[in-house]
Amino acid sequence: MSDSTLRADGRAASQLRPLRFQNHIAPHAAGSTLIEWGATRVICGVTIEETVPRWMKEQKVEGGWITAEYSMLPYSTLTRKARDISKGRLDGRSSEIQRLIGRSIRAAIDLEKIGARTICVDCDVLQADGGTRTAAITGAFVALSLAVNKLLGEKKIAASPILSPVAAVSVGIVNGAALLDLCYTEDVAAAVDMNLVMNARGEFIELQGTGEEATFTDAQLVDLLALGRTGIKELLSAQQAAIAQG
């Protein structure tokens, strides 16, 4: 498939799905946004607690902490997804994703500069059509930035603790072609599925790549990484535009 060949939803191979941010979707949060990415929709909210985890106090670690939670609402998928609370535990996928979100957002922040605070990032999937973890990370950075601006405005911190903006995108190989930003049907059909988390300096924060009952070559990996970098640049630009709107 060449870049000029349209996919099922009409996109070219290197084209992102339509992206939109709706800020302040949760008025009681310090920062929040609804990221609409294709048919995937995730609410990302940030709250700030004026304390740090006990382990930081016990180990006398300076600065603050960032933690994340991720959940898919029962009506986010075609068939109802039971809440984790009804099973008495967090499912493995949700646990993996919220740890990924936490690692990604912590990489964007100088934790010492936020003071003895805990920043809580909550990502709730309203509608899932592939890429919920990449949407959560990309939206979470916008919500985080809005929360940081609030802290600065209230003079609770002296300078911005943001080291570098962070965004995430999926890539994959479907029917032998490298594609950017997989929707659900492409994700299901992918022979290779990969998620990239990168910062504005072009550095990798996380790279998750798996052959789904398939293998991939060095050349295919190079193609996927090139597609991912292209997508990340577009996402970073969209994030900055959303943050600038306040």
Residues with Cβ < 8 Å from 5, sequence gap 6 or more? 12, 13, 177
pLDDT value, residue 86: 67
Report the run of H or E that residue 138 belongs to, with start and end.
helix 132-153
- Closest to 32 (Cα-Cα) out of 116, 103, 97, 120: 120
Does the predicted model carry a pTM greater than 0.85? Answer: yes
Residues with Cβ < 8 Å from 203, sequence gap 6 or more? 164
Distances (CA, A) of 93 to 86, 90, 163: 16, 8, 28
pLDDT (tens, 9 = 90+) of the chain, 246 residues, equals 445 556 878 899 999 999 999 999 999 999 999 999 999 999 999 999 999 999 999 999 999 999 999 999 988 988 888 877 766 667 788 899 999 999 999 999 999 999 999 999 999 999 999 999 999 999 999 999 999 999 999 999 999 999 999 999 999 999 999 999 999 999 999 999 999 999 999 999 999 999 987 899 999 999 999 999 999 999 999 999 999 998
Which letter does DSSP use for residue 16 in this model?
A: P
pLDDT value, residue 79: 85
Token code pair at residue 48: 């700030």
**What span, in angstroms and rounded, lies between the C-alpha atoms of 217 and 211?**
10
Q: How, if at all, do strands 118-127 and 65-72 pair?
A: parallel
**What span, in angstroms and rounded, lies between the C-alpha atoms of 140 and 147?**
10
Which domains does the chain possess? Answer: 19-244 (3.30.230.70)
Token code pair at residue 61: 């670690």
* Site of tokens 């991939």: 216
- Closest to 125 (Cα-Cα) out of 146, 105, 144, 97: 97
**What span, in angstroms and rounded, lies between the C-alpha atoms of 169 and 225?**
11
